[in-house]
């Protein structure tokens, strides 16, 4: 298949998205890939595969690439002196913009508006996972446990230290801090505030076990292996992404019973909400209870490292994308008004 | 000010949006208006003010109008034989697409992506009000009462008749029925299913009082008068919209105490979520308890009939629109990786 990977975006995770796309270039082996870069100015560029190197973007060299416009069915550009309109050829787009633009619903909405077939969470799924408060409300409504939380407007909380403080609408641990005393709290609050006006705190539970599970529904459930996250304490942004490709994930054998429970919780979250998306759910476990920590509707490099045959997963999902409901507009109502008015 | 009213859309409420825009043409007196029509095919057209008549759209005549493309800062078109690019001139757009495209987050996302200043709910606010289940979760989390509900996948419920059945993601009472027995339930379930896969039921409370309150925050709270909804039972789609302009709203004197309570609930819903939008909250009251029924983030004709000086409300809101957070991308992270790699 011919995939078009869209990455970048006006997002705090812009650079992660670049690294994510570069990673996928090597990990997707059986399919043809094209790349569309959304720069910080939200201009679209068609990027040649051989230019998929981080320096090409950080240096600004990408600006010499073909500039695209989003339009019905895909992306177009003007070719040659006669400025003939050409269209970028592909079967299915992949939304790989992490954070704002990609995961807040903007690109998902545009892809749907312009009838572009894509592997992406839809708008609602994006919003539900982008805002951590909504994630918790949503998960609870589906019978999935979450860690208790408090929305704060100043560095004060009902919880005892240690706590974890998070901007409500960011992924990749940006702006997140573990806080052990009031001084740290004051500082961490200011840090979080730089990223979002909505801030939450949760009790930080030492030694909690963390499990990640990725998957999708493509006419059948497809699950990744379960990753038991190995970490000393808490992975901040740099620790997490300086080793982004995670070539050697420590996939300890997770007991079957636990794996089933994780899958069951994953299904409760995914069903009828995350269709067309390949997502990763991050779970906590304590005292045999599973808690949803967060939903990554566009996980880093699509969590390819958790799947045995990632090419096949993409293909299955791409072939089973659900279309938007068709709405027929026949002007019955206006015709009725006109008749009523005798016009 | 120069407003650009965007209406139509690929929505079950497409025709309502047309009527809504035509109504506003007469109700907005002090400002200059331009109109952009989104047809069922999602093409954009610039509509002359004198063509703002329902027949112009139902007849397909609108297709002779100038076709537009959405782009950074607004809308553009090609002029003359030389196909020179021209931009539509306006200060602030108004998103007046009811239902899908306008209230599901698509247009809000595009307006934000293309940095188009607009009176519109943002993506998150759209999603939270578009999906009635999310509305209830959201309202409860903010301390606003809602009518209890059940998500159903077949015509069965824990509630006693009468009940009210609703597709979760539609406005304007489309697909909504009051059901008094199992036969009616079976039929109404099929009707609702035509509009959405997610269906909810609520107990139908006879004689419940309904109050509507519109407003916005534009550096200060601006509230409309309170409308006590007069109806025999339940307004279905036709009853509600065949008399759409509501020239004579029966604004009974609502006791001050109740008005204050409604405003207090409105603020809980609106604050930090509906910025840049002029919304209408529909409340129920029973036994002195106020319940949120629904949030209309783009109410019909912007609920102009509830305001004493609608021109002024629009101007105040337009002058106090909040901008999206600026994100500076400096490639620090990629530069760090490159240094670490010794490149």
Tokens in use for B285?
Answer: 């009251």
> From the list B105, B112, B242, which residue is nearest A127 (CB)?
B105
User: Do B157 and B164 touch, CB atoms closer than 8 A?
Assistant: no
Nearest by CB to A335, from B58, B328, B334: name it.
Answer: B58
Q: What is the SS3 string spanning chain B? A: CEEEEEEECCCCCHHHHHHHHHHHHHHCCCCEEEEEEECCCCCEEEECHHHCCHHHHHCCHHHHCEEEEEECCEEEEEECCCCEEEECCCCEEEECCCCCCCCCCHHHHHHHHCCCCEECCCHHHHHHHHCHHHHHHHHHHCCCEECCCEEECCCCCCCCCCEEEEECCCCCCCCCEEECCHHHHHHHHHHHHHHCCCEEEEECCCCCEEEEEEEEECCCEEEEEEEECCCCCCCCHHHHHCCCCCCCCCCCCCCHHHHHHHHHHHHHHHCCCCCCCCEEEEEEEECCEEEEEEEECCCHHHHHHHCCCHHHHHHHHHHCCCCCCCCCCCCHHHHHHHHHCCC
| Contact flag A10-B54 (C-beta cutoff 8 Å) | no
* Distance of alpha carbon A300 from alpha carbon A98, whole angstroms: 8
pLDDT at A172: 65
Is B2-121 in CATH node 3.40.50.20? yes
Mean pLDDT of A305-326: 96
Structure tokens at A75: 């992306």
Amino acid B248: pLDDT:
42
| Chain A, nearest residue to B115 by Cα | A42
How many whole angstroms separate alpha carbon B320 and alpha carbon B312?
12
Q: Which residues contact B2 (CB under 8 A, 6 or more apart)?
A: B31, B32, B33, B34, B89, B90, B91, B92
CA distance A132 to A176: 12
Task: Out of B128, B238, B334, name the one closest to residue A54 (CB).
Answer: B334
Q: Which of residues 34-63 of B touch A (CB under 8 A)?
A: 40, 42, 54-55, 57-58
Across B138-174, b (16+ Cβ under 10 Å) vs e yields bbeebebbbbebeebeebebebeebbbbbbbbbbbbb
Query: Which residues of chain B are within 8 Å of residue A334 when distances are taken between CB atoms?
Result: 15, 18-19, 54-55, 57-58
pLDDT digits (tens, 9 = 90+) for B223-271: 999 999 876 545 555 555 554 444 344 555 667 789 999 999 999 999 9
* Model pLDDT, residue B236: 55
Residues A175 and B33: their CA atoms lie apart, in Å, by 43
Cβ atoms of residues A208 and A286 within 8 Å: yes
One-character DSSP codes across A84-145 = EEEE---SEEEE---STTTTSSHHHHHHHHTT--EES--HHHHHHHHSHHHHHHHHHHTT-E
Cβ(A262)–Cβ(A290) below 8 Å = yes
pLDDT for residue B203 is more than 90 = yes
Backbone angles phi, psi at B222, to 5 degrees: -120, 120
Give yes or no for A287 touching B (CB within 8 A): no
Q: Mutate which of B23, B69, B325, B339 to disrupt the A interface (most A C-beta within 10 Å)?
A: B325
Residue A174 has pLDDT above 90, yes or no: no
| Fold topology of A148-203 | Dna Ligase; domain 1 (3.30.1490)
Percent of chain A with pLDDT over 70: 92
**What φ, ψ does residue A230 adopt, rounded to 5°?**
-100, 115
- The answer to whether the CB atoms of B15 and A331 lie below 8 A apart is yes
Identify whether the C-beta of residue A35 lies closer than 8 Å to the C-beta of residue A124: no
- Rounded to whole angstroms, the Cα distance separating A325 from B104 reads 13
Instruction: State residue B235's pLDDT score.
Output: 54
Q: pLDDT digits over A122-133, tens only?
A: 999 999 999 999
Query: Per residue in B150-183, pLDDT tens?
Result: 999 999 999 999 999 999 997 667 889 999 999 9
* Look-up of token digits 């490639």: B331
Residues of B in contact with A100 (CB under 8 A): 327
Is A94 within 8 Å of A276 (Cβ atoms)? Answer: no
CB contact under 8 A, B110 and A105: no
Strands (E), chain A: 2-8, 32-38, 44-47, 66-71, 74-79, 84-87, 92-95, 118-119, 145-146, 150-152, 163-167, 177-179, 199-203, 209-217, 221-228, 279-286, 289-296
User: Across residues A28-56, what is the average pLDDT?
Assistant: 97
Note the pLDDT tens digit of each residue in B117-156: 999 999 999 999 999 999 999 999 999 999 999 999 999 9
How distant is the Cα of A255 from the closest Cα of chain B, in angstroms? 34
Which residues in chain B (214-233) have CB-CB distances under 8 A to chain A?
A: none
Over the stretch A242-268, which tens digit does the pLDDT of each residue have? 544 444 445 556 677 899 999 999 999
Question: How many Å separate Cα A137 from the centre of its chain?
Answer: 19
Cα dist from B43 to A24, A194, B12, B331, whole Å: 34, 38, 16, 37
Task: Scan residues 130-169 of A and list those with Cβ closer than 8 Å to B.
Answer: 130-131, 133-134, 137-138, 141
Phi, psi of B26 (to 5 degrees): -85, -25
Q: Note which residues in 176-205 of chain B have CB less than 8 A from chain A.
A: 197-198
Instruction: Say if the Cβ atoms of A331 and B58 lie within 8 Å.
Output: yes
Residue among A242, A329, A337 whose CB faces B40 most closely = A329
Which candidate in A21, A43, A105 is best for mutational testing of the B interface (most B CBs within 10 A)?
A105
The residues pairing with B84 across neighbouring beta strands, listed in sequence order, are: B79
Mean pLDDT of B89-112: 97
Say yes or no for a CB contact (<8 Å) between B124 and A112.
no
Higher-pLDDT residue of A207 and A257 is A257
| CB-based contact, A240 to chain B, within 8 Å | no
The position carrying tokens 């269906």 is B199
Q: Do the Cβ atoms of A76 and A88 come closer than 8 Å? A: yes
Q: Is B110 on the interface with A (CB under 8 A)?
A: yes
Terminal CA-CA length for chain A? 54
The mean pLDDT value of chain A amounts to: 92
Of B57, B137, B334, the CB nearest to A141: B137
Q: Is the pLDDT of residue A229 over 60?
A: yes
Instruction: Give the residue range(s) of CATH 3.40.50.20 domains in chain A.
Output: 2-120
- Whether the CB of A68 is below 8 Å from some CB of chain B: the reply is no
Beta-carbon contacts of residue B138 (< 8 Å; ≥ 6 apart): A134, A137, B128, B269, B273
Cβ contact, residue pair B127, A130, below 8 Å: no
Cα distance between residue B296 and residue B129, in whole Å: 7
Interchain contact B2–A (C-beta under 8 A):
no
CATH topology of domain A2-120: Rossmann fold (3.40.50)
pLDDT(B55) > 70: yes
Q: How many other C-beta atoms can be found within 10 angstroms of the C-beta atom of residue B182?
A: 11
Q: Where in chain B is the domain with CATH 3.40.50.20?
A: 2-121
User: φ and ψ at B217, to 5 degrees?
Assistant: -115, 120
d(CA A11, CA A97): 8
Nearest CA in chain A to B14: A329
Please report which confidence band the pLDDT of residue B83 belongs to, taking 50, 70 and 90 as the band edges.
Answer: confident
Nearest to A123 among B106, B138, B340 (CB): B106
Question: Structurally, what CATH architecture does the domain formed by B128-145+206-319 represent?
Answer: 2-Layer Sandwich (3.30)
The pair of three-digit structure tokens given for residue B164, joined into one six-digit string: 């009210």
Answer for the pair B279, B217: CB distance below 8 angstroms, yes or no.
Answer: no
CA–CA distances in Å: residue A206 to residues A94, A203, A293, B129, B248 = 37, 9, 14, 37, 63
pLDDT at A319: 98
- Above pLDDT 90, what percent of chain B? 81
Alpha carbon separation from B82 to A1, A138, B67 (Å, rounded): 39, 53, 16
Q: With CA atoms as reference, report the closest residue to B300 among B256, B250, B237.
A: B237
Residues of chain B with CATH 3.30.1490.20: 148-203
How many cross-chain Cβ pairs, A to B, lie less than 8 Å apart? 157
Q: Which of A123, A131, A241 sits opposite B104 (nearest CB)?
A: A123
Euclidean distance between CA atoms A212 and B112, whole angstroms: 33
């Amino acid at each position: 298949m011919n995939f078009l990977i869209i990455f970048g975006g006006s997002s705090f995770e812009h650079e992660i998205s670049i690294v994510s796309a570069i990673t996928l270039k090597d990990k997707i082996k059986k399919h043809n890939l094209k790349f569309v870069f959304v720069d910080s100015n939200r201009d679209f560029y068609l990027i040649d595969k051989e230019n998929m190197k981080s320096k090409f973007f950080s240096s600004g060299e990408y600006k010499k690439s073909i500039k695209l416009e989003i339009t019905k069915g895909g992306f177009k550009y003007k070719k040659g002196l006669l400025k003939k309109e050409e269209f970028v050829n592909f079967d299915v787009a992949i939304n790989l913009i992490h954070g704002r633009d990609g995961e807040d619903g903007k690109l998902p909405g545009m892809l749907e508006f312009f009838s572009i077939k894509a592997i992406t969470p839809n708008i609602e799924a994006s919003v539900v996972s982008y805002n951590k408060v909504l994630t918790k409300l949503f998960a609870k409504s589906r019978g999935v446990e979450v860690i208790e939380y408090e929305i704060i407007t100043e560095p004060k909380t009902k919880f005892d230290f240690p706590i974890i403080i998070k901007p409500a609408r960011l992924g990749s641990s940006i702006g997140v801090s573990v806080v052990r005393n009031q001084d740290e709290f004051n500082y961490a609050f200011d840090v979080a505030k730089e990223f979002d006006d909505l801030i939450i705190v949760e009790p930080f539970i030492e030694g909690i076990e963390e499990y990640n599970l990725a998957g999708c529904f493509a006419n059948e459930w497809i699950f990744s292996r379960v990753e038991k996250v190995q970490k000393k304490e808490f992975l901040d942004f740099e620790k997490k992404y300086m080793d982004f490709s995670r070539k050697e994930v420590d996939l300890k054998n997770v007991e079957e019973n636990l794996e089933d429970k994780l899958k069951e919780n994953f299904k409760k979250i995914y069903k009828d909400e995350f269709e067309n998306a390949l997502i990763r759910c991050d779970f906590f476990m304590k005292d045999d209870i599973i808690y949803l920590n967060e939903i990554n509707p566009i996980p880093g490099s699509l969590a390819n490292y958790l799947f045995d045959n990632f090419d096949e997963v993409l293909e299955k999902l791409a072939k089973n994308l659900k279309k938007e409901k068709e709405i027929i507009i026949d002007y019955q109502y206006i015709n009725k008004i006109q008749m009523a008015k005798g016009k």
